[in-house]
Amino acid sequence: MRAAPDPRAQRALRLATGTALCLAASFGLNLPLPFIAPLLATFLLAKLDRPLPLKAGLGLIVLVVLTTGSGLLLIPLLHHAPLTALLLVALALFLAFRRGLRGSKSTLTTTFLVIGLTMISSLGSVEFGLAVAVINALVQGLLLAVLALWVGHSLFPDPPSVAPAPAGVPVSAAAADWLALRATLVVMPAYLLALIDPSGYLAIILKAVSLGQQSCSTTTRMAARELLGSTLLGGLLAILFWWALGLFVHLWMFFLWMLLVGLLLARKLYGLRPGRFSPGFWLNTQVTMIILLGLSVQDSADGQDVYHAFAVRMSLFIAISLYACLMVLLLDQLRRRRRPPVVG
Protein backbone atom coordinates (compact mmCIF):
# COMPACT_ATOMS: atom_id res chain seq x y z
CA MET A 1 0.00 0.00 0.00
CA ARG A 2 1.45 3.35 -1.06
CA ALA A 3 1.96 5.95 1.66
CA ALA A 4 -0.03 9.17 1.38
CA PRO A 5 2.01 12.00 -0.19
CA ASP A 6 3.44 14.55 2.23
CA PRO A 7 2.06 18.03 1.47
CA ARG A 8 4.30 19.89 3.92
CA ALA A 9 6.95 20.87 1.36
CA GLN A 10 4.28 22.34 -0.93
CA ARG A 11 2.74 24.25 1.98
CA ALA A 12 6.11 25.65 3.07
CA LEU A 13 6.83 26.85 -0.48
CA ARG A 14 3.33 28.30 -0.71
CA LEU A 15 3.65 30.23 2.55
CA ALA A 16 7.08 31.66 1.76
CA THR A 17 6.33 32.54 -1.87
CA GLY A 18 2.89 34.02 -1.18
CA THR A 19 4.17 36.19 1.67
CA ALA A 20 7.16 37.42 -0.35
CA LEU A 21 5.01 38.25 -3.39
CA CYS A 22 2.54 40.08 -1.18
CA LEU A 23 5.35 42.06 0.45
CA ALA A 24 6.85 43.11 -2.88
CA ALA A 25 3.47 44.04 -4.35
CA SER A 26 2.29 46.08 -1.35
CA PHE A 27 5.51 48.10 -1.12
CA GLY A 28 5.79 48.37 -4.90
CA LEU A 29 2.24 49.72 -5.17
CA ASN A 30 2.90 52.02 -2.19
CA LEU A 31 -0.22 50.87 -0.37
CA PRO A 32 -1.11 52.54 2.94
CA LEU A 33 0.44 50.53 5.79
CA PRO A 34 2.16 48.19 3.27
CA PHE A 35 3.25 45.67 5.93
CA ILE A 36 -0.42 44.78 6.55
CA ALA A 37 -0.75 42.80 3.29
CA PRO A 38 2.14 40.33 3.93
CA LEU A 39 0.99 40.06 7.55
CA LEU A 40 -2.50 38.99 6.46
CA ALA A 41 -1.03 36.74 3.75
CA THR A 42 0.99 34.95 6.44
CA PHE A 43 -2.17 34.26 8.45
CA LEU A 44 -4.20 33.15 5.41
CA LEU A 45 -1.53 30.88 3.96
CA ALA A 46 -0.74 29.32 7.34
CA LYS A 47 -4.37 28.74 8.33
CA LEU A 48 -5.98 27.72 5.01
CA ASP A 49 -4.82 24.62 3.14
CA ARG A 50 -7.31 25.16 0.31
CA PRO A 51 -7.77 28.20 -1.99
CA LEU A 52 -10.75 30.42 -1.24
CA PRO A 53 -13.55 30.33 -3.83
CA LEU A 54 -14.47 33.73 -5.26
CA LYS A 55 -17.66 33.92 -3.18
CA ALA A 56 -15.78 33.04 0.02
CA GLY A 57 -13.07 35.60 -0.76
CA LEU A 58 -15.63 38.36 -1.24
CA GLY A 59 -17.41 37.21 1.92
CA LEU A 60 -14.16 37.46 3.87
CA ILE A 61 -13.66 41.04 2.70
CA VAL A 62 -17.20 41.95 3.77
CA LEU A 63 -16.53 40.26 7.11
CA VAL A 64 -13.41 42.39 7.59
CA VAL A 65 -15.36 45.58 6.91
CA LEU A 66 -18.05 44.59 9.42
CA THR A 67 -15.74 43.36 12.17
CA THR A 68 -13.22 46.20 11.96
CA GLY A 69 -16.03 48.70 11.49
CA SER A 70 -17.44 47.61 14.85
CA GLY A 71 -14.73 49.74 16.43
CA LEU A 72 -16.28 52.86 14.93
CA LEU A 73 -19.38 52.31 17.06
CA LEU A 74 -17.28 52.66 20.22
CA ILE A 75 -15.94 56.12 19.37
CA PRO A 76 -18.87 58.14 20.85
CA LEU A 77 -18.71 56.07 24.05
CA LEU A 78 -14.95 56.67 24.37
CA HIS A 79 -15.59 60.42 24.20
CA HIS A 80 -18.62 60.65 26.50
CA ALA A 81 -18.45 57.57 28.78
CA PRO A 82 -14.85 56.27 28.72
CA LEU A 83 -15.17 53.87 31.66
CA THR A 84 -18.27 52.26 30.15
CA ALA A 85 -16.47 51.99 26.81
CA LEU A 86 -13.44 50.28 28.39
CA LEU A 87 -15.64 47.76 30.19
CA LEU A 88 -17.56 47.11 26.98
CA VAL A 89 -14.33 46.56 25.03
CA ALA A 90 -13.05 44.14 27.68
CA LEU A 91 -16.32 42.18 27.61
CA ALA A 92 -16.35 42.10 23.80
CA LEU A 93 -12.73 40.90 23.68
CA PHE A 94 -13.53 38.13 26.16
CA LEU A 95 -16.52 36.98 24.11
CA ALA A 96 -14.55 37.16 20.85
CA PHE A 97 -11.68 35.04 22.18
CA ARG A 98 -14.13 32.63 23.82
CA ARG A 99 -16.05 32.21 20.57
CA GLY A 100 -12.84 31.33 18.75
CA LEU A 101 -11.91 28.77 21.40
CA ARG A 102 -15.35 27.18 21.46
CA GLY A 103 -15.29 26.11 17.84
CA SER A 104 -15.41 29.14 15.56
CA LYS A 105 -14.76 28.08 11.97
CA SER A 106 -11.89 30.49 11.54
CA THR A 107 -9.57 32.33 13.87
CA LEU A 108 -9.44 35.08 11.25
CA THR A 109 -12.86 36.29 12.40
CA THR A 110 -11.55 36.65 15.95
CA THR A 111 -8.41 38.41 14.72
CA PHE A 112 -10.26 41.06 12.75
CA LEU A 113 -12.87 41.55 15.46
CA VAL A 114 -10.14 42.17 18.05
CA ILE A 115 -8.40 44.60 15.67
CA GLY A 116 -11.67 46.46 15.17
CA LEU A 117 -12.38 46.70 18.89
CA THR A 118 -8.90 47.93 19.78
CA MET A 119 -6.96 49.53 16.94
CA ILE A 120 -9.88 51.09 15.05
CA SER A 121 -11.64 52.46 18.14
CA SER A 122 -8.42 53.95 19.54
CA LEU A 123 -7.56 55.64 16.24
CA GLY A 124 -11.12 56.89 15.88
CA SER A 125 -11.02 58.43 19.35
CA VAL A 126 -8.41 60.86 17.96
CA GLU A 127 -9.65 61.30 14.40
CA PHE A 128 -12.54 59.49 12.73
CA GLY A 129 -10.97 59.81 9.28
CA LEU A 130 -7.80 58.09 10.50
CA ALA A 131 -9.79 55.04 11.64
CA VAL A 132 -11.59 54.86 8.28
CA ALA A 133 -8.23 55.14 6.49
CA VAL A 134 -6.86 52.15 8.48
CA ILE A 135 -9.97 50.09 7.64
CA ASN A 136 -9.37 50.96 3.99
CA ALA A 137 -5.73 49.85 4.35
CA LEU A 138 -6.85 46.55 5.92
CA VAL A 139 -9.30 45.89 3.08
CA GLN A 140 -6.66 46.65 0.43
CA GLY A 141 -4.16 44.47 2.26
CA LEU A 142 -6.67 41.63 2.49
CA LEU A 143 -7.45 41.86 -1.24
CA LEU A 144 -3.75 41.45 -1.98
CA ALA A 145 -3.45 38.63 0.58
CA VAL A 146 -6.37 36.71 -0.98
CA LEU A 147 -4.74 37.14 -4.39
CA ALA A 148 -1.46 35.80 -2.95
CA LEU A 149 -3.38 32.83 -1.55
CA TRP A 150 -4.77 32.01 -5.00
CA VAL A 151 -1.35 32.43 -6.65
CA GLY A 152 0.31 30.29 -3.99
CA HIS A 153 -2.17 27.44 -4.46
CA SER A 154 -1.82 27.70 -8.25
CA LEU A 155 1.98 27.44 -8.09
CA PHE A 156 2.23 24.89 -5.27
CA PRO A 157 -1.03 22.94 -4.92
CA ASP A 158 -1.41 20.11 -2.43
CA PRO A 159 -1.27 16.59 -3.94
CA PRO A 160 -4.79 15.59 -5.11
CA SER A 161 -5.08 12.68 -2.69
CA VAL A 162 -4.32 14.78 0.42
CA ALA A 163 -7.37 15.33 2.61
CA PRO A 164 -8.03 18.76 4.14
CA ALA A 165 -6.48 19.33 7.55
CA PRO A 166 -8.89 18.46 10.36
CA ALA A 167 -10.52 21.33 12.21
CA GLY A 168 -9.18 22.14 15.65
CA VAL A 169 -10.90 20.48 18.57
CA PRO A 170 -12.83 23.05 20.63
CA VAL A 171 -11.86 23.23 24.29
CA SER A 172 -14.28 22.77 27.18
CA ALA A 173 -16.42 25.68 28.37
CA ALA A 174 -14.48 26.07 31.61
CA ALA A 175 -11.09 26.05 29.87
CA ALA A 176 -12.36 28.47 27.22
CA ASP A 177 -13.40 30.94 29.92
CA TRP A 178 -9.95 30.94 31.51
CA LEU A 179 -8.08 31.13 28.20
CA ALA A 180 -10.32 33.94 26.92
CA LEU A 181 -9.80 35.86 30.18
CA ARG A 182 -6.04 35.38 29.82
CA ALA A 183 -6.06 36.67 26.22
CA THR A 184 -8.24 39.66 27.17
CA LEU A 185 -5.87 40.66 29.99
CA VAL A 186 -2.94 40.42 27.54
CA VAL A 187 -4.57 42.77 25.02
CA MET A 188 -6.14 45.38 27.34
CA PRO A 189 -2.92 47.13 28.53
CA ALA A 190 -1.83 47.64 24.91
CA TYR A 191 -5.26 49.09 24.18
CA LEU A 192 -4.96 51.54 27.08
CA LEU A 193 -1.57 52.67 25.75
CA ALA A 194 -3.04 53.08 22.28
CA LEU A 195 -5.73 55.39 23.64
CA ILE A 196 -2.93 57.72 24.77
CA ASP A 197 -1.15 57.78 21.40
CA PRO A 198 -2.88 55.58 18.77
CA SER A 199 -0.46 56.21 15.91
CA GLY A 200 2.59 55.74 18.13
CA TYR A 201 1.33 52.45 19.57
CA LEU A 202 -0.14 50.98 16.38
CA ALA A 203 2.51 48.26 16.27
CA ILE A 204 2.02 47.23 19.89
CA ILE A 205 -1.71 46.64 19.30
CA LEU A 206 -0.95 44.26 16.44
CA LYS A 207 1.65 42.50 18.57
CA ALA A 208 -0.79 42.28 21.51
CA VAL A 209 -3.46 40.73 19.26
CA SER A 210 -0.93 38.13 18.11
CA LEU A 211 0.19 37.43 21.70
CA GLY A 212 -3.41 37.20 22.90
CA GLN A 213 -4.18 34.47 20.40
CA GLN A 214 -0.85 32.74 21.01
CA SER A 215 -1.51 32.70 24.76
CA CYS A 216 -4.68 30.67 24.13
CA SER A 217 -2.56 27.67 23.09
CA THR A 218 0.42 28.20 25.39
CA THR A 219 0.95 26.12 28.53
CA THR A 220 2.46 27.51 31.72
CA ARG A 221 5.63 25.48 31.29
CA MET A 222 6.25 26.83 27.79
CA ALA A 223 5.02 30.40 28.32
CA ALA A 224 8.37 32.19 28.34
CA ARG A 225 9.79 30.10 25.50
CA GLU A 226 6.74 30.55 23.27
CA LEU A 227 5.73 34.17 23.99
CA LEU A 228 9.03 35.86 24.77
CA GLY A 229 11.20 33.59 22.64
CA SER A 230 9.23 34.22 19.44
CA THR A 231 9.37 37.98 20.09
CA LEU A 232 13.14 38.00 20.59
CA LEU A 233 13.79 35.78 17.57
CA GLY A 234 11.47 37.91 15.41
CA GLY A 235 13.36 41.04 16.45
CA LEU A 236 16.73 39.42 15.72
CA LEU A 237 15.57 38.31 12.27
CA ALA A 238 14.29 41.83 11.56
CA ILE A 239 17.75 43.24 12.42
CA LEU A 240 19.52 40.69 10.20
CA PHE A 241 17.01 41.26 7.40
CA TRP A 242 17.52 45.04 7.59
CA TRP A 243 21.30 44.62 7.45
CA ALA A 244 21.06 42.24 4.46
CA LEU A 245 18.66 44.58 2.68
CA GLY A 246 21.12 47.46 3.14
CA LEU A 247 23.73 45.61 1.06
CA PHE A 248 21.67 46.26 -2.07
CA VAL A 249 18.50 48.29 -1.68
CA HIS A 250 16.01 47.20 -4.30
CA LEU A 251 12.42 45.97 -4.30
CA TRP A 252 13.34 42.62 -5.84
CA MET A 253 16.04 42.09 -3.22
CA PHE A 254 13.35 42.80 -0.63
CA PHE A 255 11.31 40.02 -2.26
CA LEU A 256 14.22 37.58 -2.44
CA TRP A 257 15.30 38.09 1.18
CA MET A 258 11.71 37.66 2.34
CA LEU A 259 11.47 34.48 0.28
CA LEU A 260 14.65 33.09 1.84
CA VAL A 261 13.70 33.93 5.43
CA GLY A 262 10.14 32.76 4.81
CA LEU A 263 11.38 29.38 3.56
CA LEU A 264 13.58 28.91 6.64
CA LEU A 265 10.70 29.70 9.00
CA ALA A 266 8.14 27.69 7.00
CA ARG A 267 10.35 24.59 7.16
CA LYS A 268 10.24 24.80 10.94
CA LEU A 269 6.54 25.71 11.06
CA TYR A 270 5.52 22.64 9.04
CA GLY A 271 7.98 20.30 10.77
CA LEU A 272 10.20 19.63 7.75
CA ARG A 273 13.07 20.27 10.12
CA PRO A 274 11.77 19.06 13.49
CA GLY A 275 12.53 21.04 16.63
CA ARG A 276 11.23 21.62 20.12
CA PHE A 277 9.20 24.72 19.27
CA SER A 278 5.53 24.65 18.25
CA PRO A 279 4.18 25.87 14.89
CA GLY A 280 2.67 28.86 16.73
CA PHE A 281 6.17 29.89 17.84
CA TRP A 282 7.42 30.10 14.24
CA LEU A 283 4.25 31.78 12.97
CA ASN A 284 4.50 34.52 15.60
CA THR A 285 8.22 34.88 14.92
CA GLN A 286 7.40 35.73 11.31
CA VAL A 287 4.56 38.05 12.36
CA THR A 288 6.89 39.97 14.70
CA MET A 289 9.58 40.23 12.04
CA ILE A 290 7.17 41.55 9.41
CA ILE A 291 5.72 44.21 11.75
CA LEU A 292 9.14 45.48 12.87
CA LEU A 293 10.70 45.34 9.42
CA GLY A 294 7.73 46.92 7.63
CA LEU A 295 7.58 49.84 10.04
CA SER A 296 11.36 50.34 9.80
CA VAL A 297 11.15 50.56 6.00
CA GLN A 298 8.38 53.16 6.36
CA ASP A 299 10.45 55.11 8.90
CA SER A 300 13.37 55.14 6.46
CA ALA A 301 11.16 56.39 3.62
CA ASP A 302 9.79 59.16 5.86
CA GLY A 303 13.27 60.28 6.91
CA GLN A 304 12.87 59.25 10.56
CA ASP A 305 15.48 57.76 12.87
CA VAL A 306 15.06 54.07 12.08
CA TYR A 307 17.27 52.72 14.87
CA HIS A 308 15.69 54.77 17.65
CA ALA A 309 12.18 53.85 16.49
CA PHE A 310 13.14 50.16 16.25
CA ALA A 311 14.65 50.21 19.76
CA VAL A 312 11.47 51.76 21.20
CA ARG A 313 9.19 49.25 19.43
CA MET A 314 11.35 46.28 20.37
CA SER A 315 11.41 47.39 24.01
CA LEU A 316 7.62 47.63 24.00
CA PHE A 317 7.32 44.21 22.33
CA ILE A 318 9.56 42.65 24.98
CA ALA A 319 7.66 44.38 27.77
CA ILE A 320 4.26 43.20 26.57
CA SER A 321 5.63 39.68 25.98
CA LEU A 322 6.93 39.57 29.56
CA TYR A 323 3.54 40.80 30.76
CA ALA A 324 1.82 38.07 28.72
CA CYS A 325 4.06 35.44 30.35
CA LEU A 326 3.16 36.84 33.77
CA MET A 327 -0.57 36.64 32.98
CA VAL A 328 -0.22 33.03 31.88
CA LEU A 329 1.59 32.10 35.10
CA LEU A 330 -0.70 34.02 37.48
CA LEU A 331 -4.00 32.90 35.95
CA ASP A 332 -2.90 29.27 35.75
CA GLN A 333 -1.92 29.37 39.43
CA LEU A 334 -5.28 30.94 40.31
CA ARG A 335 -7.09 28.31 38.26
CA ARG A 336 -5.32 25.47 40.03
CA ARG A 337 -6.23 26.92 43.42
CA ARG A 338 -9.89 27.13 42.48
CA ARG A 339 -10.09 23.48 41.43
CA PRO A 340 -11.86 21.30 43.96
CA PRO A 341 -9.60 18.79 45.75
CA VAL A 342 -9.63 15.25 44.44
CA VAL A 343 -11.14 12.84 46.97
CA GLY A 344 -9.27 9.57 47.10
Domain residues of the chain, as ranges?
8-335
Contact 205, 118 (CB under 8 A): yes
pLDDT of residue 255: 93
User: What is the average pLDDT across 79-88?
Assistant: 89
pLDDT at 227: 81
Angle at 110 between CA 104 and CA 112, to 5 degrees: 140
pLDDT at 223: 67
- Kindly state the percentage of the chain with pLDDT values over 90: 19
Full DSSP string of 243-270: HHHHHS--HHHHHHHHHHHHHHHHHHHT
Residue type (1 letter), 310: F
Please report, to the nearest 10 degrees, the dihedral formed by the alpha carbons of residues 107, 111, 114, 118 taken in order: 170
Confidence band of 288 (pLDDT split at 50, 70, 90): very high
pLDDT higher than threshold 70 for residue 157? yes
DSSP tag of 73: G
Alpha carbon distance 76, 61 (integer Å): 25
Task: Tell me the per-residue pLDDT of 306-338, one tens digit each, with 9 for 90 and over.
Answer: 888 889 889 988 888 888 888 878 877 777 776
Q: What is the pLDDT of residues 107-132, one digit of tens each?
A: 777 888 888 888 888 888 888 888 88
pLDDT digits 0-9 by tens, 51-65:
778 788 788 888 888
The pLDDT value recorded for residue 124 is 86
13-27, 55-69, 71-85, 268-282: range with highest mean pLDDT = 13-27
- Would you state the pLDDT for residue 344? 44
Query: To the nearest 10°, the Cα dihedral for 129, 130, 135, 138?
Result: 150
- pLDDT of 343 over the 80 cut: no
pLDDT digits (tens, 9 = 90+) for 193-233: 888 877 777 788 888 888 777 766 666 567 667 788 888 99
DSSP string, 291-310: HHHHHHHHHHHTT--HHHHH
Is the predicted pLDDT of residue 249 greater than 70, yes or no? yes
Summarised one tens digit per residue, pLDDT across range 16-27 is: 999 999 999 999
Mean pLDDT over the full length of the chain: 83
CB count in 10 Å sphere of residue 153: 20
Q: What confidence score (pLDDT) does residue 23 get?
A: 93
Q: Taking residues 71-75, what's their average pLDDT?
A: 87
* Pairwise CA distance, residues 45 & 76, whole Å: 36
Q: How would residue 273 be classed by pLDDT, with cut points 50, 70 and 90?
A: confident
Out of 86-90, 100-104, 113-117, 165-169, the most confident range is 86-90
